[in-house]
Structure 1
Amino acid sequence: MEERIFVKDKKATFICPDCGFSAVRDVSAFLTIQTKVRIRRTCKKCGRMDSVLLERRRFARKPLSFAGLYWKLKNTEIQGFMTVEDLSRSGVRVMIPVYQPLFPGDLLGIEFRLDRGAQPLIQREAIVRNIHEKSVGLEFLSMEHTDSLGPYLAFL
């Protein structure tokens, strides 16, 4: 699997997997690029060469597989089952197995149970940001997670 380097304050810390040498570099020139950014790096200490993926997301995503439900807020006839594929502080990616007329900008209600402790029920409202076949990217309308989701996300 390709190594991901996270960006913070327009800088990225590159750590050589062989010798542990680290270097902080300004990556601001890459932040406006809309596609995946792969950077070739050469360790100044041991000379190892490889490439890494520059991760520009504000929050890390956690891959998951939770069953849940969704419904369109303005048309409750559009509803069904979903699988949560990944989760972050700002949103969630879900897989909807049956075609539904959803479009970017639609508002959905979603609910799913966490896999820890008493498996608390999480309910959120979200906006559809993108759709790729059966995979739907949703952004939470609020990033204040005062329920069980807050502590769960703190360990991502």
Structure 2
Amino acid sequence: MIEQIQIAPGDTATFICPKCGWSKTLSVLKYVNEEREIKLKIRCKCSHQYVVTLDRRKHPRTETNLYGIYIKTNLHGTFIREKTGESGEMRVINLSKSGLRFQLLSNTRAEPGDYLFVEFHLDDLNHSRVLRKVIVRTIRDSNVSAELIKTDESDFSDQVINTYIYQKT
């Protein structure tokens, strides 16, 4: 399995040899603006070679397996009627402070740029409810990556998500 390395503030990354544990922090500035996935082959001072990918996300993602629902909205934020089939079930695969990836469990189509309301419960002690508006960014097969949209400064969902991610890391 290829390890993902998070880019730290200052455009640096710390590489840790899986064989001997030796670590080195290097500048990865030249890779920050690349649009493609960056795989690097690292050679340790113990002569072990390993491959890593650079994760350029601002916020690391937390793996999840959470059931939820979604409803498509129009540009003005009003709901599209459920009888048109513009709602469905989903499974949240991962979650970050700024977005989520989920798998569509129904035949509803979503396109990049679509606005959705998503609702799911976290697997924390309170089974906290998250209800957020998102914009679809990318779709691959039935997997949707979406950005969380801040609709209200007092939205409790942000605090719940941040606490959840902090506890999982």
Structures share fold, TM-score greater than 0.5: yes
CA RMSD of aligned residues (A): 1.8
Is 1:154 the counterpart of 2:155? The answer is no
- Deviation of 1:150 after TM superposition, in Å, equals 2.3
Runs of 5+ in structure 1 lacking a partner? none
Is 1:3 the counterpart of 2:11? The answer is no
Higher helix share: 2
Does the 8 Å CA contact 2:17/2:50 hold for their aligned counterparts?
no
Provide the rounded CA distance (Å) in 1 between the counterparts of 2:162 and 2:42. 36
Give the corresponding residue for 1:118.
126
- Deviation of 1:51 after TM superposition, in Å, equals 1.2
Q: Of 131, 140, 158, which aligns to 1:132?
A: 140
Give the corresponding residue for 1:96.
104
- Paired residue secondary structure (2:30): helix
Does the 8 Å CA contact 2:88/2:105 hold for their aligned counterparts?
no
Does the 8 Å CA contact 1:103/1:131 hold for their aligned counterparts?
yes
User: Structure 1: which 4+ aligned runs deviate by more than 3 Å?
Assistant: 143-147
Provide the rounded CA distance (Å) in 2 between the counterparts of 1:49 and 1:95. 35
How many residues are treated as equivalent by the alignment? Answer: 155
Does the 8 Å CA contact 1:99/1:134 hold for their aligned counterparts?
no
Does the 8 Å CA contact 2:90/2:106 hold for their aligned counterparts?
no
Per-residue CA deviation, residues 5-58 of structure 1 (Å, 9 max, x unaligned), is 1101211111122222211111111122222211011112x1211111111111
Give the corresponding residue for 1:62.
62
Identity %: 32
Provide the rounded CA distance (Å) in 2 between the counterparts of 1:146 and 1:41. 37
- Deviation of 1:146 after TM superposition, in Å, equals 4.3
Taking structure 1 as the reference length, the TM-score comes to 0.90
Taking structure 2 as the reference length, the TM-score comes to 0.84
Runs of 5+ in structure 2 lacking a partner? 75-79
